[in-house]
């Protein structure tokens, strides 16, 4: 709970790959599109980009660099406070993270299946947040189409995920 797609990428080798699954359901977006960006989200983006462009060894180097910068008072992203006007993950990195997860599944012999965002009620979600969720849901559809992976639309789900009863229900 609370993980973004970038955290899913960071956990893939530990939490998915060892099981040798033939099918992997990929369901991210609500946390990525949440309007509550933190400095930790900016750091995760920096680590993801370092590894993506420079290779696996770069993740360790980027962590050391970020620690060194922090020890000298240099901050990456907002200084610990939440930014209630920005999504936790930028749309382009959300798209890249979903693509990375799909490609890893394929590399490991698994069929990736993307899940859309669940239906959201305008009565329980502020309009600005609802717009961000819709944008990220469209990104999921585009990634599924571009990478030719199945997309399970959750539009028919009867429950609003932010309803109090739904929030306390087990997965």
Tell me how far apart the alpha carbons of residues 32 and 84 are, in angstroms, rounded to a whole number.
Answer: 13
Tell me how far apart the alpha carbons of residues 97 and 8 are, in angstroms, rounded to a whole number.
Answer: 8
Tell me how far apart the alpha carbons of residues 146 and 131 are, in angstroms, rounded to a whole number.
Answer: 23
Note whether 12 and 84 are within 8 A (CB): no
| Cα-to-chain-centroid distance, residue 139 | 12
Helix (H, G, I), strand (E, B) or coil at 29: coil
Q: What DSSP string runs through 94-109?
A: HHHHHHHHHHHHHHTT
The tens digit of pLDDT for each residue in 110-165 reads: 999 999 998 887 788 889 999 999 999 999 999 999 999 999 998 866 665 555 55
The tens digit of pLDDT for each residue in 36-71 reads: 888 888 888 877 887 766 655 555 555 565 555 455
């Amino acid at each position: 709970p609370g993980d973004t797609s970038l955290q899913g990428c960071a956990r893939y080798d530990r939490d998915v790959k060892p099981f040798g699954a033939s099918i992997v359901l990929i369901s991210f977006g609500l946390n990525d599109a949440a309007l509550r960006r933190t400095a930790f989200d900016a750091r995760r983006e920096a680590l993801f980009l370092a590894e993506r462009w420079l290779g696996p060894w770069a993740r360790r180097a980027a962590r050391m660099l970020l620690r060194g910068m922090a020890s000298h008072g240099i901050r990456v992203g907002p200084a610990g406070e939440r930014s209630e006007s920005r999504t936790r993950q930028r749309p382009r990195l959300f798209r890249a993270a979903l693509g990375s997860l799909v490609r890893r599944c394929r590399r490991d012999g698994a069929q990736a299946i993307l899940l859309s965002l669940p239906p959201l009620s305008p009565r329980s979600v502020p309009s600005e947040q609802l717009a961000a969720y819709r944008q990220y849901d469209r990104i999921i559809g585009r990634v599924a189409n571009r990478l030719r992976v199945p997309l399970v639309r959750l539009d028919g789900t009867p429950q609003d995920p932010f309803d109090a009863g739904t929030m306390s229900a087990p997965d």
